Amino acid sequence: MISPYRLLHFTRCLAVAAILVGSSVNGDDSPPVAEISEADLVHQYRERCDYVIDQTVANTDPNDLTRGSNFTIAANLFRGANLDWARERLRLSNDPPTGAMFWMHPMALLMHVGREELNEDDWAFIRELWRTYFPYRGDTENHWVMYYVSLYLVAEMFPDAGPEAWYNGKSSVEIMADAKEFILDWMRITTSYGQGEYDSPNYIEEYTRPMALLVGWARDPELQQMGKMMMDYILLDYAVENLGGLYGGAHSRLYPRYLLQPGMAHSAAHAWLLWGQGEFSSNGGTLMIAMSGYTPPSILFRIASDRDKAYVHKELKRTRWRFRHAGPNAFEVDGKSTIPVYKYSYVHPDFILGSSQGGLLQPIQQQTWSLVWREENLEGKSNTMFGLQPYSSPIEGTMFFNSDWDTVTDLIARSKVDYDSPDKLEGGSPYEQVFQHEATLIALYNIPEGTRFPLISTLFSRDVNRRVEDESGWIFGQGGPVYIAYRPFAPGEWKPVDWTGLLKGGAGAWFSTGFKELSEGSECLVSYSLKNGYIVEIAPVSAYETYRDFQEAVRALPVEVRLEPTPRVRYTNLDGVKLEAEYGRTPSVDGENVDYSSWKLFDGPFAQAERESQSLEMIYGSERYVLDFKNRSAETSVVESE
Domain count, the chain: 2
d(CA 432, CA 447): 8
In contact, 369 and 387? CB cutoff 8 Å: yes
pLDDT above 50 (res 18): no
Question: Average per-residue pLDDT in the chain?
Answer: 94
Contact at 8 Å (CB) between 581 and 435? Answer: yes
Q: Which domain range does residue 616 map to? A: 610-638
Whether 255 is in a domain gets the answer no
Residue 151 lies in a domain: no
Q: What is the pLDDT of residues 304-318, one digit of tens each?
A: 999 999 999 999 999
- Give Cα separations from 290 to 93, 135, 446 (angstroms): 23, 26, 48
Q: Taking the alpha carbons of 60, 65, 71, 76 in that order, is the dihedral positive or negative?
A: positive
The yes-or-no verdict on residue 460 having pLDDT over 50 is yes
Does 411 share its domain with 537?
Answer: yes
Integer Cα distance of 9 and 342 in angstroms: 46
Q: What percent of the chain has pLDDT over 90?
A: 88
**Contact 267/204 with Cβ under 8 angstroms?**
yes
As a three-state string, the secondary structure of 368-410 is CEEEEECCCCCCCCCCEEEEECCCCCHHHHHHHCCCCCCCHHH
Q: Could you tell me if residue 172 is inside a domain?
A: no
Closest CA to 338 of 262, 411, 279, 252: 252
Q: Is residue 127 part of a domain?
A: no
User: DSSP per residue over 454-485, as a string?
Assistant: --EEEEE-TT-EEEEE-TTS-EEEEETTEEEE
Amino acid 11: pLDDT: 44
The answer to whether the pTM exceeds 0.85 is: yes
- Between CA 589 and CA 587 the distance in angstroms is 7
**pLDDT for 131:** 99
Q: How confident is the model at residue 64 (pLDDT cuts 50, 70, 90)?
A: very high
Exposed/middle/buried for residue 235 (C-beta within 10 Å: 0-12, 13-18, 19+): buried
Under 8 Å CB-to-CB from 610, ≥6 apart: which residues? Answer: 600, 601
Both 489 and 526 in one domain: the answer is yes
CB atoms within 10 A of CB 121: 10
* Domain identity same for 492 and 584: yes
**Per-residue confidence (pLDDT) for residue 511, from 0 to 100:** 62
The 10s digit of each residue's pLDDT in 557-572 is 999 999 999 999 999 9
Residue 219 lies in a domain: no
Does any domain span residue 259?
Answer: no
- Residues 523, 617, single domain; the answer is no
Q: Where are the alpha helices (DSSP H) in 449-574?
A: 501-504, 515-519, 547-555
- The pLDDT of residue 622 is 96
Give 3-state DSSP helix, strand, coil % of the chain, rounded to 5.
40, 20, 40
> 507 exposed, middle or buried (CB, 10 Å; 0-12, 13-18, 19+)?
middle
Q: Which pLDDT score is estimated for 31? A: 67
Report DSSP state, residue 23: T
Out of 254-258, 352-356, 532-536, 626-630, which region has the weakest mean confidence (pLDDT)? Answer: 254-258
CA dihedral 160, 123, 145, 143 (to 10 degrees): 130
- Provide mean pLDDT across the span 290-301: 98
Identify whether residues 617 and 501 lie together within a single domain.
no
| Residues 331 and 454 both lie in one domain | yes
Distances (CA, A) of 230 to 48, 186, 247: 22, 10, 19
**Secondary structure element (H or E) that encloses residue 216, with its range:** helix 205-217
| pLDDT score, position 516 | 81
- pLDDT computed for residue 17 by the predictor: 46
226-259 per-position pLDDT tens digit:
999 999 999 999 999 999 999 999 999 999 999 9
> Helices H, strands E: what count in the chain?
19, 28
Both 594 and 631 in one domain: the answer is no
Distance between CA 522 and CA 464 in Å, rounded? 9
Residues 526 and 622 occupy one common structural domain: no
Tell whether 518 and 618 lie within a shared domain: no
Confidence (pLDDT) at 189: 99
Closest alpha carbon to 143 in 94, 209, 193: 209
Residue 109 lies in a domain: no
CA dist 378 and 279 (Å) reads 8
Asked if the structure places residue 427 within a domain, the reply is yes
Residue 221: count other Cβ atoms within 10 Å of its Cβ.
Answer: 9
501 vs 417, 423, 452, 498, CA distance in Å?
12, 10, 18, 9
Segments of 290-349 assigned E as strands: 311-318, 331-333, 336-338, 340-347
Q: Is there a single domain that holds both residue 590 and residue 625?
A: no
Residue 461 near residue 383 (C-beta atoms within 8 A):
yes
Q: Are residue 442 and residue 477 in the same domain, yes or no?
A: yes
Assign 513 a pLDDT band (cuts: 50, 70, 90): confident
* Residue 133 neighbours by CB under 8 Å, 6+ apart: 96, 97, 103, 167
Q: What is the mean pLDDT of residues 501-516?
A: 64
Q: Taking residues 264-281, what's their average pLDDT?
A: 97
pLDDT of 499 reads: 58
Per-residue pLDDT at 419 exceeds 50 = yes
Please provide residue 626's backbone torsions phi and psi, each rounded to the nearest 5 degrees.
-115, 125
Condensed to tens digits (0 to 9), the pLDDT of residues 124-162 reads 999 999 999 999 999 999 999 999 999 999 999 999 999
What amino acid occupies position 148? Y
- Provide φ and ψ at 600, rounded to 5°: -95, 165
Tell me, yes or no, whether 514 and 628 share the same domain. no
